[in-house]
């Protein structure tokens, strides 16, 4: 899905980088790709369109900003807008549970993770907020549902309402309320029954429960992997029951969070928590920043920025090559090459990196040149003044003595370095004339 976003934007941003500034057309092109990618991540069309429109407005305002990496600029604007869209009012992790016992109604389709989330949330409230929680299953349709909650309750050390067979969901809700009051609980959670799809009977049942319980929070639990279906589910539940928030489960899966964006944009309801696994502590407060990163693919942003930087480095190399062709190869250039050689693993890595390097590397190996030698050469260059590095031809005996002494080395070694520099610089001049330098440098990039 979003793997493509990186590639698509990569191409667009490469062009942007070359131009160096952000024009309206550039932004439009980039955003077309963003829109397609959003759609592929299961963001609904109106939401994607609206989103891109807002980014367009913001980005074009910055169109004249001279930026080293306009791509980064666009991604940042897209990212910020995602965060803004995903952010609700207040802290998503704070539930309205003052005035004990506070009822929390858990609703959703079957298999969305409702029972699991009920237990996860109960554990969280108990452990993090020191609340006394009572859980009750109202699922009279699925035989094992009540036992499932009970088992989870034992596992996490949270009380469940004793199971009484044959009761209606409304009757169980009433009993839970009484039990919670008498037992001095801070919170009681009502885990309602789900269905495979939304039907009137389910809604009527949940409505009836809602009316007796008068919940402080009604949380819809939906499978985050179902994308557009999750949004439709949320719309339906909100219309009939009225929800105060959403819990997106299975966010540990492959989904890239597109549902979160649509969900928030379409229903206007805050996403409060995300489920990140089957374990009881795999529940986290919803963080817009994180989901935005996921929707864009944080790795993608990083690689995009890197891509942009590479382009800039290539331009620098091009400028460097032009100087080489004119025979302007100074000690700073040599120092850069030596550093690179060290970084690339010494003489071995130098193979094919620079024109003439192969031959030199072979010679060097014969002469016992190794990393230590490279370091000594770098030390010699470091010992030179700025002027000497830019124009090594000015080096006379007294300067040579000073430089060698500064590096703690012999003049003989400095002479070797200077000879190497002269050879390289000659070779480049020659190759530059034949156009071979350009080819050699290409191989380097």
Which of residues 17 and 115 has its CB atom nearest to ligand GDP in the complex? 115
250 binds ligand GDP (CB under 6 A): yes
Which of residues 113 and 245 has its CB atom nearest to ligand GDP in the complex? 113
Indicate which single residue of 10, 70, 71, 112 sits in contact with ligand GDP (rule: CB under 6 A).
112
Segment lying near ligand GDP (by CB under 6 A), choices 38-46, 72-80, 104-112, 288-296: 104-112
Which of residues 282 and 342 has its CB atom nearest to ligand GDP in the complex? 282
Whole-angstrom CA distances from 327 to 163, 169, 406, 434 are: 89, 88, 28, 13
Indicate which single residue of 252, 287, 289, 310 sits in contact with ligand GDP (rule: CB under 6 A).
252
Q: Map residues 346-375 to x or -, x wherever contact with ligand GDP holds by CB under 6 A.
A: ------------------------------
Give the nearest distance from C-beta 248 to ligand GDP in angstroms.
Answer: 8
Give the nearest distance from C-beta 140 to ligand GDP in angstroms.
Answer: 14
271 binds ligand GDP (CB under 6 A): no
* Binding residues for ligand GDP, total number by CB under 6 A: 18
R_g over Cα of the chain:
33
257 binds ligand GDP (CB under 6 A): no
Tell me the CA end-to-end span of the chain in Å, nearest whole number.
Answer: 30
- Alpha-carbon distance 443 to 356, whole Å? 13
- Alpha-carbon distance 188 to 206, whole Å? 16
Indicate which single residue of 241, 260, 265, 276 sits in contact with ligand GDP (rule: CB under 6 A).
276
The pair of three-digit structure tokens given for residue 285, joined into one six-digit string: 């407060």
Give the nearest distance from C-beta 245 to ligand GDP in angstroms.
Answer: 16
410 binds ligand GDP (CB under 6 A): no
116 binds ligand GDP (CB under 6 A): yes
87 binds ligand GDP (CB under 6 A): no
205 binds ligand GDP (CB under 6 A): no
Indicate which single residue of 113, 215, 245, 432 sits in contact with ligand GDP (rule: CB under 6 A).
113
Which of residues 15 and 195 has its CB atom nearest to ligand GDP in the complex? 195
Shortest-Cβ-distance residue relative to ligand GDP: 275
294 binds ligand GDP (CB under 6 A): no
The full 3-state SS of the chain, as one line of letters, equals: CCHHHHHHHHHHHHHHHHHCECCHHHHHHHHHHHHHHHHHCCCCHHHHHHHHHHHHHHHHHCCCCECCCHHHHHHHHHHHHHHHHHCCCCCCCCCCCCCCCEEEEEECCCCCCHHHHHHHHHHHHHHHHCCCEEEEECCCCCCCHHHHHHHHHHHHCCEECCCCCCCCHHHHHHHHHHHHHHCCCCEEEEECCCCCCCCHHHHHHHHHHHHHHCCCEEEEEEEHHHCHHHHHHHHHHHHHCCCCEEEEECCCCCCCCHHHHHHHHHHCCCEEEEECCCCCCCEEECCHHHHHHHHHCHHHHHHHHHHHHHHHHHHHHHHHHHHHHCCCCCHHHHHHHHHHHHHCCHHHHHCCCCCCHHHHHHHHHHCCCCHHHHHHHHHHHHCCCHHHHHCHHHCCHHHHHHHHHHHCCCHHHHHHHHHHHHHHHHHHHHHHHHCHHHHHHHHHC
269 binds ligand GDP (CB under 6 A): no
Give the nearest distance from C-beta 90 to ligand GDP in angstroms.
Answer: 23
Which of residues 35 and 114 has its CB atom nearest to ligand GDP in the complex? 114
Give the nearest distance from C-beta 225 to ligand GDP in angstroms.
Answer: 9
46 binds ligand GDP (CB under 6 A): no
Indicate which single residue of 137, 192, 205, 249 sits in contact with ligand GDP (rule: CB under 6 A).
249
Give the nearest distance from C-beta 102 to ligand GDP in angstroms.
Answer: 21
Indicate which single residue of 258, 275, 293, 355 sits in contact with ligand GDP (rule: CB under 6 A).
275
Indicate which single residue of 115, 218, 244, 325 sits in contact with ligand GDP (rule: CB under 6 A).
115
Give the nearest distance from C-beta 251 to ligand GDP in angstroms.
Answer: 6
Residues forming the site for ligand GDP (CB under 6 A) = 108, 110-116, 194, 221, 249-250, 252, 275-278, 282
């Amino acid at each position: 899905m979003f793997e493509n976003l990186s590639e698509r934007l990569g191409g667009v941003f490469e062009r942007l980088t070359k131009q160096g500034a952000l024009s309206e057309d550039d932004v439009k092109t980039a955003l077309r790709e963003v829109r397609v990618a959003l759609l592929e991540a299961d963001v609904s069309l109106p939401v994607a369109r609206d989103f891109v429109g807002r980014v367009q407005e913001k980005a074009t305002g910055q169109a004249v900003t001279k930026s080293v990496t306009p791509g980064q600029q666009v991604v940042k604007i897209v990212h910020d807008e995602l965060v803004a869209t995903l952010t609700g009012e207040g802290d998503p992790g704070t539930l309205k549970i003052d005035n004990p016992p506070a009822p929390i109604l858990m609703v959703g389709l079957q298999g969305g993770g409702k029972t699991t989330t009920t237990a996860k949330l109960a554990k969280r409230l108990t452990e993090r907020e020191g609340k006394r929680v009572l859980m009750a299953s109202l699922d009279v349709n699925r035989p094992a549902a009540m036992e499932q909650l009970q088992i989870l309750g034992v596992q996490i050390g949270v009380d469940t309402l004793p199971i009484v067979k044959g009761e209606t969901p409304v009757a169980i809700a009433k009993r839970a309320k009484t039990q919670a009051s008498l037992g001095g609980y801070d919170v009681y959670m009502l885990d309602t029954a789900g269905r495979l799809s939304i039907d009137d009977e389910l809604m009527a049942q949940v409505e009836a429960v809602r009316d007796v319980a008068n919940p402080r929070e009604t949380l819809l639990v939906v499978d985050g992997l179902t994308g557009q279906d999750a949004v439709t589910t949320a719309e339906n539940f909100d219309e009939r029951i009225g929800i105060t928030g959403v819990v997106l489960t299975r966010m540990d899966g492959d989904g890239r969070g597109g549902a979160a964006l649509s969900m928030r944009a379409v229903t206007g309801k805050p996403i409060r928590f995300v489920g990140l696994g089957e374990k009881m502590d795999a529940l986290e407060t919803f963080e817009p920043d994180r989901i935005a990163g996921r929707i864009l693919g944080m790795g993608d942003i990083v690689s995009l920025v890197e891509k942009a930087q590479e382009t800039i480095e290539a331009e620098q190399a091009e400028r460097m090559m032009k100087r080489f062709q004119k025979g302007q190869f100074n000690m700073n250039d040599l120092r850069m090459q030596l550093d690179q050689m060290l970084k690339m693993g010494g003489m071995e890595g130098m193979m094919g990196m620079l024109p003439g390097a192969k031959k030199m590397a072979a010679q060097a190996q014969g002469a016992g040149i190794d990393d230590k030698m490279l370091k000594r050469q770098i030390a010699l260059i470091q010992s030179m003044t700025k002027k000497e590095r830019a124009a090594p031809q000015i080096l006379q005996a007294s300067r040579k003595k000073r430089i060698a002494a500064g590096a703690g080395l012999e003049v003989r070694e400095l002479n070797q370095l200077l000879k190497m520099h002269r050879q390289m610089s000659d070779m480049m001049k020659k190759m530059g004339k034949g156009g071979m330098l350009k080819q050699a440098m290409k191989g380097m990039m």
